[in-house]
Every structure is written in structure tokens, then in C-alpha cells.
């Protein structure tokens, strides 16, 4: 079977869902010492065909940056909001759960690190820095197509590659890009990949062979 055929198979569920299911691949590593942080996968990958779902972006910046980000970002915050979030960590944690990526002006990064770093850091959501006055639009557009890939210390990890509403061809392009990046980070390349599966949110896992990923 081709990769597109395996994707189509993973979309076939017995029940119709009331929401658009996501598709993700599960990657199982072998022969990698993940107790050493240097061997762990920690990548951000831009999916050529996009995520197929809405990705939330928040921007911290001056009035100029806030104005530029207003029509492209989902949340726009100023320096005055930092102290509010620091005083209400519980509320900020709830907000962070709804936001995929953060962007902040370089002038605010130190303050954000000191006041909110303990919330953002462990969740892998430390802001991307931009110089004051730079238009954040291009970074926002790129991040809306980006997935974060983190293996941590586990040999099995998951990567979103789209939704069931996307074409099989578009999803295949995304999967191949993800695998190319991950294989490129492994000491033995594809030799460190034990197996790869694809499944929808509520569906059954379908194994993808090495030949189908080429």
C-alpha cells in the first residue's frame, strides 16, 4: 500500500463524529539513549500543507507591535499585562492551555522569564523573540503551520500531522516532512526508527512501513 492509502485507512471509522478529528503519527525509537537530553528530539517543524486546524498565537509587545499584530494574532498583550498574569498564575495557566505559541518583543523577554517563566517553560511555550518595531505577521503565519515535536525521555512520542478533513496527499506531504526532520536528528537515521503508526483521534492505529515513507 502507498502512504496515501494508509492515511485513507486511518480515516475510516465506524461512527461519524460531531467534530473534526485530528490525525497524528506515533513514532517509536530504538537504540537511542534518551536519558541523555542531547539525544532527545525537540524540534519545531513547519508543515508544508498546514495543520488543518486553528492554531492560537499570542503576542506581547509595545503599542506599535500590538497594532501590527492585532489582525493576525489571536491574543495581543502589553507590558502592563505581565504583572496581572504574575499575580494570577492560576488564571494565566488556564490561558496558556488555550494558546499554542507565544511571541514577545526582546525588551520584554527578561521580565517574562522572571515573572512567567515557571509557567511557560515546562509547557514548552517560551516566547519567540522579535526586535521592537518588527512586524510579527510573517512569524505568526509560519507558526500557525508549525508543530512542536518533543520526545522527552520516552521512546514513543506523537506528532500532529493534520485533520481528517485534509486530503490524503496533503497529509502525506506533512508526514514525509516530519519524518525527514526527525530522521536527520538521529545518530543512525532511519536505523533508530523502530516503527511508525498513524491514527485519527478516535480511530485505530495503522502501521506505516519504511518504504511508504520514502
Task: Return phi, psi of residue 195, to 5°.
Answer: -165, 160
On average, the pLDDT of the chain sits at 94
Strands 156-163 and 22-29: antiparallel
Are the C-beta atoms of residues 180 and 46 closer than 8 Å to each other? no
For 11, 125, 159, 182, 199, the CA distances from 209, given in Å and listed in that order, are 17, 33, 17, 16, 14
Residue 212 has pLDDT above 90, yes or no: no
* Tens-digit pLDDT profile for residues 121-150: 999 899 999 999 899 999 999 999 999 999
CATH topology of domain 3-52+147-213: Ribulose 1,5 Bisphosphate Carboxylase/Oxygenase (3.30.190)
Q: Could you tell me which CATH number the domain at 57-143 has? A: 3.40.50.790
Mean pLDDT confidence for 148-163:
95
Q: What does the domain layout of the chain look like in residue ranges? A: 3-52+147-213, 57-143
Amino acid at each position: 500500500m502507498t502512504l496515501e492509502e494508509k492515511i485513507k485507512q486511518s480515516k475510516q471509522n465506524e461512527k461519524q463524529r460531531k467534530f473534526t478529528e485530528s490525525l497524528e503519527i506515533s513514532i517509536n525509537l530504538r537504540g537511542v539513549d534518551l536519558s541523555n537530553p542531547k539525544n532527545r528530539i525537540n524540534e519545531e517543524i513547519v508543515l508544508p500543507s498546514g495543520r488543518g486546524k486553528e492554531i492560537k498565537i499570542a503576542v506581547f509587545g509595545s503599542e506599535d507591535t500590538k497594532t501590527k499584530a492585532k489582525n493576525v494574532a489571536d491574543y495581543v498583550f502589553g507590558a502592563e499585562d505581565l504583572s496581572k498574569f504574575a499575580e494570577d498564575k492560576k488564571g494565566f495557566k488556564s490561558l496558556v492551555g488555550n494558546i499554542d505559541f507565544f511571541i514577545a518583543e526582546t525588551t520584554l523577554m527578561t521580565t517574562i522569564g522572571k515573572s512567567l517563566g515557571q509557567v511557560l517553560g515546562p509547557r514548552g511555550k517560551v516566547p519567540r523573540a522579535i526586535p521592537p518595531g518588527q512586524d510579527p505577521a510573517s512569524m505568526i503565519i509560519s507558526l500557525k503551520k508549525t508543530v512542536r515535536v518533543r520526545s522527552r525521555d520516552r521512546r514513543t512520542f506523537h506528532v500532529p500531522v493534520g485533520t481528517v478533513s485534509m486530503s490524503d496527499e496533503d497529509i502525506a506531504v506533512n508526514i514525509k516532512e516530519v519524518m525527514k526532520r526527525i530522521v536527520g536528528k538521529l545518530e543512525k537515521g532511519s536505523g533508530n526508527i523502530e516503527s511508525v503508526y498513524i491514527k485519527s483521534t478516535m480511530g485505530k492505529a495503522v502501521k506505516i512501513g519504511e518504504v511508504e515513507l520514502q
